Amino acid sequence: MMRLQRLVAARRLATGDDGMAMVLAILLILLVAGLSLSMGALVIAQSRPTQFNRKNAATVNAASTGLQVGLDRLRAANDGAGNGSLLLLPCTGANDATLAPNGTSGTAPGVTYTGPVSSLPGALTYRVSISYYTADPSGKDLGWLQSNAKPCPLLVVPTFAYVEALGAGAAVPGEPANRGNRGVHATYTFNAVNTNVTGGRLKQFPGSWASPQLCVDAGSATPAPGTQLLMQPCLALGTPQQTFQYRTDLTLYFGGNTALNLCAEQSGGYIKLQTCTSPVNTPQASTYNTSTGTYLAGQQVQEFAFDDNGHFAGASSNGGVTGTCMQPEGITTTTSPGANAKVAFFACTGSTQSPGAWDPDPDVGAGKAGGNTTGMPGSPTNQFVNYSEFGRCLDITGQNVNNSLIAYPCKQAPNSSTLTYNQVWNYVPYGSTGYGQFYTVGVTGQGNSVTGTKYCLKAPSTGNLILTPVCAATPTDDQLWKATGNTNVYATAYRLISKASVVADANNPYCMSVGPIASGVTPGSSDIITQLCDGSLAQKWNAPPNPQKAGLGNLIEQQGGGS
């Protein structure tokens, strides 16, 4: 009986130990579970930054891929012979480039390419946009990039391309979709000498008689000597069969294939392409009279003056012009025969606004006026050629000194002393200040001018249009300009700086510049304005070319990480 009681007691003792062990086990399980939850939360908390960092590293590589795609597109824009082609530069529309240099997004003329970087789940992608400029876009804000981007299709040869690339990847859980995307932008400098005469179209002056507008056409990129020039609807700038150059020897040179050495020539009442008498841009002394600007007898058939009425007139042997002009066959003073009309040579008709007048692209060139690269008016023509519109000269609109100034096709004559006053400029320094007056000498019957009266360039006190009032006997600040000439730094060279602007704010001077297209009687001509000096080609006058090598520079990551 006693053994049974002891056994029962032992069992009761064992049952109490088991209960305690279970309690301890449960406590241990709860502790481990709590620790597991804590560790899980810690792992989750740590994994999100890791995923973000991985995305951040991957998307910058995707942006670099996009940048390379853009550069490859630019470098592929060549004719197969190593020469860049304006027609092949990618530029598709007015709002086709998406830019965000400072984190604020906007659009500009240009082109955008997109694509995948890999085909894996959550694949990376790139977006690269390209826009074009004649002034360096490095460090400029969105507003500047938008307002200075050249429109598509490109009508001028750009000096720079702004390339902006964005790399994007799948969203990190719990983060905005664009967080971790990276962007970069850079400036691509084209490998070029910004030599002025690259070639452009000889367009008929626009009017109700010309719809569509017509251009001189050689029929192909490889015309033979004797080819009759025709009028055809204007094609894109740079199309070989419509590309011509107005050279310093006053020849209209076929620029579609310079190896052919062909010039427009008067032949039996028509204009045909023939082998050039002068094979180089500077006429040979043996065939050219440098005092009058004419060829020797019999060679004037390849020499054309651009006269006051916007006609290409024939040259006479005494350095003047004849009464015959290059014009479409069959025109009257108010009508044009349209496409396929032969380019002929007969008595000049009408005024600057007639079917016989011309509106050549600035890219055609400035004739003899392009021979002065001193930054000042002077030999051989005393004209001021704008470098961004290098077939255009500083011109008093309508030969009326009451009007503002425009960039108008450079008037030319074999004997430059016969040029009309409204494009002929002189300079007189004012003491030793570095400033001086730029003036032209008026003639009776032109606005309020009187023969012998000097009219000076005057910076505006309101607005931005430059005028030409009578020169003050004691020059006022608004009639004084500094011609910088060659400063050995191209960005600051060949500018005309208004003294009035320097007096107002020496740190922000204003320069004479080509501005927007003017309205009124001069379609296609730009206003001449004062504008904050920025080093652009539009602010350079009588300037030489600036050789520059191709290269990528100013490579910067987008503000805001490209997101």
Please state which of the ranges 257-271, 275-289, 456-470, 514-528 shows the lowest mean pLDDT.
275-289
pLDDT given at position 285: 63
pLDDT given at position 235: 94
Are the C-beta atoms of residues 438 and 406 closer than 8 Å to each other? no
Query: What's this model's pTM, rounded to 2 decimal places?
Result: 0.69
DSSP code string of 141-180: -HHHHHHHSPPSSP-S--SEEEEEEEEE-PPPTTS-TTTT
Please state which of the ranges 89-103, 111-125, 283-297 shows the lowest mean pLDDT.
283-297
Mean pLDDT for the chain overall = 83
Domains and CATH numbers, the chain: 53-193+550-562 (no CATH), 195-365 (2.80.10.50), 374-545 (2.80.10.50)
Rg (CA), the chain: 35
- pLDDT exceeds 90 at position 24: no
- Give the percent of the chain with pLDDT over 90: 42
Are the C-beta atoms of residues 292 and 329 closer than 8 Å to each other? no
Which has more confidence, 317 or 1? 317
Other C-beta atoms lying within 10 Å of the C-beta of residue 138: 15
* pLDDT tens column, 533-553: 988 889 999 998 765 656 666
Which has more confidence, 299 or 393? 393
Residue 553, amino acid:
G
Closest CA to 559 of 142, 160, 120: 142
pLDDT given at position 190: 80
- φ/ψ region of 239 (left if φ > 0, alpha if ψ in -120 to 50, else beta) reads beta
d(CA 259, CA 342) in angstroms, rounded, equals 25
- pLDDT exceeds 80 at position 507: yes
SS3 112: strand
